[in-house]
Amino acid sequence: MAPRSILLADQPVLRQKSRRVPRPTPEIHALIQDMWETMRAARGVGLAAVQIGIPLRVIVVEIPEDMEDPHAGTSLALINPELIRMSHETEEGVEGCLSVPGWVGTVPRSIEVVVKGMDPKGKPVRLKARGYLARVLQHEIDHTEGVLFIDRATEVWSVEEGEEEQEEARAAGKKV
């Protein structure tokens, strides 16, 4: 197990819809482990399996403990995550993506969402998220549908590679 390379936006697989996972297997557990390592090595807050070239509906999310956010410190791996409720109320925020280095953009997202899925043990999960966690979940679930933040952004601008983080920090974000 090791961090894997993250695919960039020009890779066609990132535009595919990922497949559902029937049940967690040892292979899925190994995939999730690699995803944690890959996301942490890249200092991201979220990663979808398709970003390492595996088009399966698996995401990992980790909101840093030092963020001023009610969900700070939340860490979760979800299989077959699905948005079952999205607030009509949206807010704009700055996002970047590990697959789109050097770019950030302003993206409107629902303020509150309800997501259901399965945890790595196969137990059904249903969770309500607000604010930043809601944003990250929407971003990652978009990846499972072949959608990138640049598709939804109202404005996109380039930043020096490695400076996405500072740019997003201003909007209380990190790379996802």
State the minimum distance, in angstroms, from the CB of residue 119 to Zn ion: 21
140 is annotated as an active-site residue: yes
Q: How far apart are CA 86 and CA 152, in angstroms?
A: 16
Give the bridge partners for 157, in sequence order: 104
Q: How far apart are CA 13 and CA 29, in angstroms?
A: 22
Residue that is written with structure tokens 């950030």 in the block:
104
State the minimum distance, in angstroms, from the CB of residue 168 to Zn ion: 12
Q: How far apart are CA 41 and CA 47, in angstroms?
A: 11
- Closer to Zn ion by CB, 103 or 110: give it: 103
- Closer to Zn ion by CB, 97 or 134: give it: 97
- Closer to Zn ion by CB, 5 or 25: give it: 5
Q: How far apart are CA 169 and CA 176, in angstroms?
A: 12
Catalytic site residue from 95, 140, 164, 168: 140
State the minimum distance, in angstroms, from the CB of residue 60 to Zn ion: 12
Q: Which residues would be at the binding site for Zn ion (CB under 5 A)?
A: 97
Q: Which residues are catalytic?
A: 140
